[in-house]
Amino acid sequence: MTTMIALASLAVGGVQGPSILDFVQQNLQDATLVAKIVRGDQKELVKINKDFGQSYRFNSSTIYFKEPFKMRAEAHVEETNVVYIINGNTLWIKIPNFKSQQNLAKAPGRRQTLMDVGLLTPTLFNNFLDAKFIRNDRETGNIVFDLTYKPNLDDSSRYRVWIDRTKKFVTKREWFNQWGRQLATFYYLDPTEVSGVWLPTRLEVKNVDNVIAGITKYDSIKVNTGLSDGLFTSK
- Cα separation, 215 vs 204, in Å, equals 5
Please determine, for residue 8, whether its predicted confidence score (pLDDT) is greater than 50: no
DSSP-based three-state secondary structure for 26: coil
Q: What is the pLDDT of residues 149-207, one digit of tens each?
A: 999 999 999 999 999 999 999 999 999 999 999 999 999 999 999 999 999 999 999 99
The pLDDT confidence band at residue 15, using thresholds 50, 70 and 90, is low
Task: List the beta bridge partners of residue 85.
Answer: 72, 92
Which domains are delineated in the chain?
17-224 (2.50.20.10)
Burial track 47-77 (b if 16+ CB lie within 10 A, e otherwise): bbeeebbebbebeebebbbbbebbbbbbbee
Residue 4 per-residue DSSP state: H
For residue 48, give the nearest of 207, 219, 228 by alpha carbon: 207
Please determine, for residue 39, whether its predicted confidence score (pLDDT) is greater than 50: yes
Q: Kindly tell me the burial class for residue 122, based on how many C-beta atoms sit within 10 Å of its own C-beta (0-12, 13-18, 19 or more).
A: middle
Residue 59 is which amino acid?
Answer: N
Cis peptide upstream of residue 18 (ω within 30 degrees of 0): no
DSSP-based three-state secondary structure for 117: helix
Q: Mean pLDDT over all residues of the chain? A: 91
DSSP-based three-state secondary structure for 15: coil
- Cα separation, 211 vs 192, in Å, equals 26
pTM over 0.85: yes
The pLDDT confidence band at residue 5, using thresholds 50, 70 and 90, is very low
- Cα separation, 40 vs 189, in Å, equals 17
- Cα separation, 201 vs 186, in Å, equals 13
